[in-house]
Protein backbone atom coordinates (compact mmCIF):
# COMPACT_ATOMS: atom_id res chain seq x y z
CA UNK A 1 0.00 0.00 0.00
CA UNK A 2 1.59 3.25 -1.15
CA UNK A 3 -1.10 5.74 -2.18
CA UNK A 4 -4.51 7.02 -1.12
CA UNK A 5 -5.90 5.03 -4.02
CA UNK A 6 -4.59 1.88 -2.33
CA UNK A 7 -6.25 2.91 0.95
CA UNK A 8 -9.53 3.49 -0.90
CA UNK A 9 -9.21 0.04 -2.49
CA UNK A 10 -8.71 -1.43 0.98
CA UNK A 11 -11.98 0.15 2.12
CA UNK A 12 -13.69 -0.94 -1.10
CA UNK A 13 -12.87 -4.58 -0.22
CA UNK A 14 -15.21 -4.11 2.74
CA UNK A 15 -17.90 -2.25 0.78
CA UNK A 16 -16.98 1.22 2.05
CA UNK A 17 -16.96 4.18 -0.33
CA UNK A 18 -16.33 7.67 1.03
CA UNK A 19 -16.82 10.88 -0.90
CA UNK A 20 -18.26 14.00 0.70
CA UNK A 21 -16.78 16.56 -1.68
CA UNK A 22 -14.58 17.90 1.13
CA UNK A 23 -11.13 16.31 0.93
CA UNK A 24 -10.22 16.91 4.57
CA UNK A 25 -13.54 15.47 5.76
CA UNK A 26 -13.02 12.50 3.44
CA UNK A 27 -9.60 11.82 4.97
CA UNK A 28 -11.00 12.01 8.50
CA UNK A 29 -13.80 9.57 7.64
CA UNK A 30 -11.38 7.24 5.86
CA UNK A 31 -9.09 7.26 8.90
CA UNK A 32 -12.02 6.47 11.18
CA UNK A 33 -13.12 3.57 8.95
CA UNK A 34 -9.60 2.12 8.79
CA UNK A 35 -9.34 2.35 12.58
CA UNK A 36 -12.67 0.51 12.96
CA UNK A 37 -11.55 -2.23 10.55
CA UNK A 38 -8.42 -2.71 12.64
CA UNK A 39 -10.31 -2.72 15.95
CA UNK A 40 -12.64 -5.38 14.55
CA UNK A 41 -9.58 -7.43 13.48
CA UNK A 42 -10.57 -7.27 9.79
CA UNK A 43 -7.16 -5.89 8.76
CA UNK A 44 -3.77 -6.67 10.22
CA UNK A 45 -1.46 -4.27 12.03
CA UNK A 46 0.75 -3.69 8.96
CA UNK A 47 -2.20 -2.69 6.76
CA UNK A 48 -3.45 -0.44 9.55
CA UNK A 49 -0.11 1.30 10.10
CA UNK A 50 0.52 1.79 6.38
CA UNK A 51 -2.96 3.17 5.81
CA UNK A 52 -2.70 5.62 8.73
CA UNK A 53 0.69 6.90 7.53
CA UNK A 54 -0.66 7.44 4.00
CA UNK A 55 -3.79 9.19 5.28
CA UNK A 56 -1.79 11.48 7.58
CA UNK A 57 0.61 12.36 4.76
CA UNK A 58 -2.32 13.25 2.50
CA UNK A 59 -3.90 15.30 5.29
CA UNK A 60 -0.64 17.21 5.86
CA UNK A 61 -0.40 17.98 2.14
CA UNK A 62 -3.81 19.67 2.23
CA UNK A 63 -3.00 21.92 5.18
pLDDT tens track for 12-62: 999 999 999 999 999 999 999 999 999 999 999 999 999 999 999 999 999
Q: What is the DSSP letter of 42?
A: S
Q: Helices in 1-63 by DSSP H: which ranges? A: 4-13, 23-39, 45-62
User: Do residues 44 and 20 make contact, with C-beta atoms less than 8 angstroms apart?
Assistant: no
Structural domain boundaries, residue 14 = 4-62
Kindly report the pTM of this predicted structure: 0.93
The total of structural domains in the chain comes to: 1
CATH of the domain at 31: 1.10.287.760
Burial (CB count <10 Å: 0-12, 13-18, 19+), residue 30: buried
Amino acid sequence: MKTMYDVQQLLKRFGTFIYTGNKIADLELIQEEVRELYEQKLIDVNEFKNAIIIIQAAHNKLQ
